[in-house]
Every structure is written in structure tokens, then in C-alpha cells.
């Protein structure tokens, strides 16, 4: 009896048996390679057979990455098998990151600043630390005691020898304040800016009374609401107290804002 010979047919003839004309994709692994066979129509409407070959490699990844790969797919890829789908996913070049420790970084990079010099300067107690970390922040020293100490130091600096270089002294404060004559005496007036809307005359009085005596104050308010416009003028009795107010209050934190204090400009 003659042996039956197997007849090889074309794959194009085999796919005719399917309802939609295209069989499902097939894949198998052999010799460390993965072969994926897909059937699809080209632009001309003809059936084509696409065979993709992948090299299988094992890589050690973090647990979070491995756990993320087990998540269920969604959208157009919800019925896809594990791994990227060439129709919906484009695999780019892998980027590998090398994480180094602090010791290795210090060995490879020279220090930018001298560690022996402390660049921090506390505004509250003049210590070698940042003002936000000052142990006296929020205490009586931060507000009343510190302001009194600064007022005394600033007043002594103003009435001292103004011929020394390194610090600017206004002309009207030189030689007993006789450098410039004005029709309106604004030489001892200061302008305080960046005040909160809830500022009142009583608060302004409490803010400046520790520095020195004053003759008058003006708090700018809105006509309709009566809220503070954000600035005020204070006329001190002595010029040295006005200079001390600028030295103390300029940059001082008050009501969650940073005050700005300068000399009041004369009216034209």
C-alpha cells in the first residue's frame, strides 16, 4: 500500500475557512525567541501575513514595576495579551538611570561653599541661623524687647559721627538737620507700606510707640469699605526716632506680612 504524501497548501488558501477571512494571531516560544504570527489586510485590501520575532530576556525589576505589569488593561487594549501591543503601544529606547548616594556625590563634586563659614543671619536675635528657626520667634523678644534694643542702637548711630563712610546719612540729618529747609516739615516722617486690610489706628499706635514719641499719624482707608489701603504715615517728634523706625520696622514681619518703611517723600 503506497504511503500517503502530505500536500502543502498556501496560507492564503487556509484562511478562507474563517468567517471574517482572517484567523487569530498565533505565538510560540522556541530557543529563547518568541514568534508571533498575525494576519491583516494591507492598504490594497489584500490579505497579508506578518511574522514578528522577539528575543526573550529576563530582567530584574523593582517590585513596583513588576506589580504594575500585572494590572488589567483597559480601553482599546483591554482584550490584549500581556505585553505591549504594536497597534496601540510604541516601544521607545529604554533609558537606564544610575542613582548615587550622598557620599558618592560629595566625592565627585567639590563643595561650592566653605562649610566653616555660616552665611545665615537671624533678623530677630542676630544669631548664626535663619530667622525661621530662631528660638525667640513669636516670643516677647521678637516684638517688644527686640524693637526697644534696635531703637536704642539706631538712635545712637544717627546722632553719632556721620562723617564715617559705609552708611548713607540723609542731608537733612547732617549738622543738626539744617542741610535743607522745607515749607512743610517732613524730615521726621516715614511711610509704612504693606499693611493688612484689618489694620487700625490702635494697631499702628501699638506698632510705633516703643520706638519714640510721634506728633501725628495718618492711616489711609477706603471710602466705601473703611478698610486699610495698605499704607500709613507717621510723623515722629525727633528725626533720630524716624531713622530708628526705618531700621527696625523695614523688613519686619507683622500680621503675616513683611513691612516696608522708608522716608516720606516731600510734596511738590
Number of structural domains the chain divides into = 2
What are all long-range contacts of 77-84, with beta carbons under 8 Å and residues at least 24 apart? none
Structural domain that includes position 189: 140-263
CA distance 240 to 66: 72
Q: Which residues of the chain have pLDDT under 70?
A: 1-21, 102-120, 138-186, 267-268
Query: What is the model's pTM?
Result: 0.35
In a domain, 268, yes or no: no
Dihedral sign from CA coordinates of 87, 88, 92, 96: negative
Q: Give per-residue pLDDT as tens, 151-166.
A: 666 656 555 554 555 6
Q: What is the tens place of the pLDDT at every residue in 97-124? A: 777 776 666 666 555 555 555 566 777 7
> Could you tell me if 150 and 237 lie in one domain?
yes
Residues 144 and 256 in one domain: yes
Amino acid at each position: 500500500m503506497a504511503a500517503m504524501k502530505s500536500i502543502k497548501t498556501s496560507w492564503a488558501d487556509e484562511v478562507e475557512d474563517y468567517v471574517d477571512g482572517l484567523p487569530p494571531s498565533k505565538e510560540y516560544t522556541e530557543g529563547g525567541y518568541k514568534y508571533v504570527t498575525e494576519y491583516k489586510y494591507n492598504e490594497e485590501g489584500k490579505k497579508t501575513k506578518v511574522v514578528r520575532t522577539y528575543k526573550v530576556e529576563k530582567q530584574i525589576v523593582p517590585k513596583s514595576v513588576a506589580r504594575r505589569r500585572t494590572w488589567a488593561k483597559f480601553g482599546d487594549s483591554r482584550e490584549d495579551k500581556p505585553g505591549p501591543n504594536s497597534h496601540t503601544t510604541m516601544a521607545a529606547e529604554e533609558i537606564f538611570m544610575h542613582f548615587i548616594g550622598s557620599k558618592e556625590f560629595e566625592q565627585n563634586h567639590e563643595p561650592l561653599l566653605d562649610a566653616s563659614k555660616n552665611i545665615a543671619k537671624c533678623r530677630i536675635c542676630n544669631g548664626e541661623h535663619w530667622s525661621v528657626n530662631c528660638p525667640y520667634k513669636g516670643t516677647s523678644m521678637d516684638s517688644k524687647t527686640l524693637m526697644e534694643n534696635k531703637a536704642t542702637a539706631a538712635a545712637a548711630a544717627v546722632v553719632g559721627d556721620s562723617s564715617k563712610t559705609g552708611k548713607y546719612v540723609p542731608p537733612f540729618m547732617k549738622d543738626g538737620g539744617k542741610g535743607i529747609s522745607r515749607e512743610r516739615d517732613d524730615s521726621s516722617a516715614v511711610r509704612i507700606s504693606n499693611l493688612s486690610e484689618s489694620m487700625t489706628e490702635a494697631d499702628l499706635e501699638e506698632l510705633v510707640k516703643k520706638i519714640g514719641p510721634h506728633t501725628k499719624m495718618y492711616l489711609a482707608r477706603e471710602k466705601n469699605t473703611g478698610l486699610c489701603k495698605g499704607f500709613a504715615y507717621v510723623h515722629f517728634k525727633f528725626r533720630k526716632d524716624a531713622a530708628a523706625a526705618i531700621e527696625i520696622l523695614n523688613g519686619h514681619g507683622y500680621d503675616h506680612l513683611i513691612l516696608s518703611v522708608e522716608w516720606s517723600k516731600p510734596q511738590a
